[in-house]
Chains A and B, each alone.
Chain A
């Protein structure tokens, strides 16, 4: 893989990102990595379905990107995806999961998800996705 140094433009508006992930290690690392490599700004995070669903629907215009894990301490990421079906066109919804099977990908696509990434193998693709969208924003 050809390493792409992230284009850091301090003046650009950062991508406001909300993260639903129940594992603190991944959550913290993910935020730090994306803030460093892509121009994102973490606007909040949740560990459960209810919490994530509530924040995302109540703050409909406060976020540009949401990264959702499917298996959570309570509920399921699928419920959040369902709740965010009617988001604004610019808002991106991606799934980062350990269970990125074909079946899961199909169901996520049906729920209007923009992309599905495997936690083990597709971290780089997620970073690329964030870089692309933050530079576009």
Chain B
């Protein structure tokens, strides 16, 4: 691209220049050749008229017949014009003009000599005109005229040849120029093609590089996503383990302390007789306080690790969860729960899903009604939590809530399921999870 375009322009310019030069030179040569033609015919005519005039003069001298004077006079009258025309043509050629000047002098002398002899013959001076005729002056003049005419014709011929040569040269130059420019044009075109191909190759390489880069990035994103998913799963497991550990600890250690306290209260109560009603009242209050502590411990433990799941099963646990949420948040919570057979991890997933959804509803939804449903479809189970709250734009959620939702989704997906969140501003939210059911093989002995 860098070379071929200037090269092409240069070649075109050279071609045009050569052609123009050749053309103008050819035109000049042609016009000079036309002049040469005129010159030649002028010189030839001059010579012819001189010969006519001499013939007429001789005829008159010999015969004395006036008829011979007619061609003589017509010839001499034209000769002057001839000379004028030729002088005009020779003006631009100084060397030939000299020769022509000599020629015209000789013509004038010859005319003068003929004129003298003709006049003498008319006046009847026989001896005089015979003398004039007998001298070689007329002959010499005529020979000089012939020779100079021949020289002028020769010069004209030379000029014509020069013009022809010039045209030939111009044609030759044009030919060479066209061939050269054609070659250069072809070269430029070839270079252009090569350059285009090279550019295409470079472009393709760049595209390939980009594609490779994209693939690499895609691969990296995939790997990172996978490792993040693994990390999230791991963290969730760790969290559940921690919670389990904490729940056991609270259950065993705090439980023992509370039990011991209750035993002490029982002992105290028996020692206080009916005669100290005030102390009885305090004891009763202490018992109530301990019972609230026990209830609180239970609730914390249930929150940490729903033991009801293992003890009572999923359906009952969800019923309890929904009822307790309804009591805490003063919402109307309805349930329709079908019994399902899920393993412990999947049960926990469902439980946590419902728990998290209810928490979100309590925090953000401003709902009146909540419906929790579990439906058993034989090979899969759907869990739905629906509210009639203000909803949200699923593409724009508060970071905390969206992390909660992402965690939920991850958890459901880790269990081999799918999570769908439908929500429109002002029209409530429906969170729906589909989890695979372990296909129960028919028992062989049944």
Say how far B280's CB is from chain A's closest CB, in angstroms.
Answer: 7
Residues facing B in A78-108 (CB within 8 A) are 98-99, 101-104
Say how far A95's CB is from chain B's closest CB, in angstroms.
Answer: 14
* Stretch from A10-18, A26-34, A46-54, A59-67 forming part of the interface with B: A26-34
Tell me whether B439 is interfacial, beta carbon within 8 Å. Answer: no
Tell me whether A110 is interfacial, beta carbon within 8 Å. Answer: no
* B252, A98: Cβ atoms closer than 8 Å: yes
Considering only CB atoms, which chain B residue lies closest to A123 in the complex?
A: B262
- Across the interface, which residues of A come within 8 angstroms of B255, CB to CB? 98, 119-120
CA distance A103 to B307 in the complex (A): 12
B267 in complex: contacting residue of A26, A36, A120, CB < 8 Å: A36
Q: Given the known inter-chain contacts A23-B252, A101-B312, A120-B294, please indicate yes or no for A5 contacting B259, CB distance below 8 A.
A: no
Say how far B252's CB is from chain A's closest CB, in angstroms.
Answer: 7
The interface size bin for chain B is 20 to 34
* A37, B267: Cβ atoms closer than 8 Å: yes
Tell me whether B251 is interfacial, beta carbon within 8 Å. Answer: yes
* A98, B251: Cβ atoms closer than 8 Å: yes
Tell me whether B269 is interfacial, beta carbon within 8 Å. Answer: yes
CA distance A2 to B135 in the complex (A): 194
Q: Given the known inter-chain contacts A3-B269, A5-B273, please indicate yes or no for A30 contacting B256, CB distance below 8 A.
A: no
Say how far B263's CB is from chain A's closest CB, in angstroms.
Answer: 4
- Across the interface, which residues of B come within 8 angstroms of A104, CB to CB? 311
- Across the interface, which residues of B come within 8 angstroms of A103, CB to CB? 311
CA distance A3 to B297 in the complex (A): 26
- Across the interface, which residues of A come within 8 angstroms of B269, CB to CB? 3
The interface size bin for chain A is 20 to 34
* A25, B257: Cβ atoms closer than 8 Å: yes
B263, B270, B272: which has the most chain A beta carbons within 10 Å? B263
Tell me whether B162 is interfacial, beta carbon within 8 Å. Answer: no
Q: Given the known inter-chain contacts A103-B311, A119-B259, please indicate yes or no for A33 contacting B252, CB distance below 8 A.
A: no
* B280, A120: Cβ atoms closer than 8 Å: no
Tell me whether B144 is interfacial, beta carbon within 8 Å. Answer: no
Tell me whether B264 is interfacial, beta carbon within 8 Å. Answer: yes
A residues with a Cβ closer than 8 A to B are: 3-6, 23, 25-26, 29-30, 32-33, 36-37, 71, 98-99, 101-104, 119-121, 123-124, 127
Q: List 23 A-B contacts (CB under 8 A).
A: A3-B272, A3-B274, A5-B273, A6-B270, A23-B252, A23-B256, A25-B257, A26-B256, A29-B264, A36-B270, A37-B267, A71-B252, A98-B251, A98-B252, A99-B307, A101-B311, A102-B311, A104-B311, A119-B256, A120-B258, A120-B262, A120-B297, A123-B262
B residues with a Cβ closer than 8 A to A are: 251-252, 255-260, 262-264, 266-267, 269-270, 272-274, 280, 291, 294, 297-298, 307, 311-312
